[in-house]
Amino acid sequence: MRREYWAETEASPDGLFAVVGELTTYSEWLDVVDAVEPDTDGNGSAWIVTLRARIGPLSRSKRLRMVSVPQGAPYHARFERCELDGKNHSTWVFEVAVDPLDRPPLASRAKLELTYDGSLWSGMLDGVLDAAAEKATDNLRRYIAEQA
């Protein structure tokens, strides 16, 4: 599964990237990300991300260890699943790129791409992700305004 979502904001590209380029903010504006905590691996480059999907009274959660993968392009961040237990795990990737816009009052746009190659969450995630994406732009704008 590979999904792309777009969010346009009034924030400058720097201001938008300061939020979407920092994994610890995702739980503030993306509903499927329930929590992001630093991993205790000691080097400060990994996080434990808890994803939660709710459908009616049912809820499913998944904890992932994610790391930042350096990118050469400005305003581009990539976070990948990287477990330390030596087992094969399904791939999870959050990738984000920010572009400037010249359409006042909109000043920047973020493209968030989610890639998942497992089968356990696939059918369930489609509707949940689409609903979260619809709310994410408003949540992101509100979060950026609160940080200003």
Residue spans per domain, the chain: 2-147
pLDDT for 131: 77
pLDDT band at 96 (very low <50, low <70, confident <90, very high): very high
How many angstroms separate the CA atoms of 5 and 2, rounded? Answer: 10
Q: Which fold has domain 2-147?
A: Alpha-D-Glucose-1,6-Bisphosphate; Chain A, domain 4 (3.30.530)
pLDDT in tens, 19-43: 999 999 999 999 889 999 999 875 6
Q: What is the pTM of this model?
A: 0.87
pLDDT above 70 (res 110): yes
- Tell me which of 38 and 57 has the higher pLDDT: 38
How many angstroms separate the CA atoms of 104 and 113, rounded? Answer: 25
Please report the beta strands in the chain, taking only residues with DSSP state E, as ranges in sequence order: 2-9, 33-38, 46-55, 58-68, 76-81, 92-103, 106-116
Q: Please count the residues of the chain.
A: 148
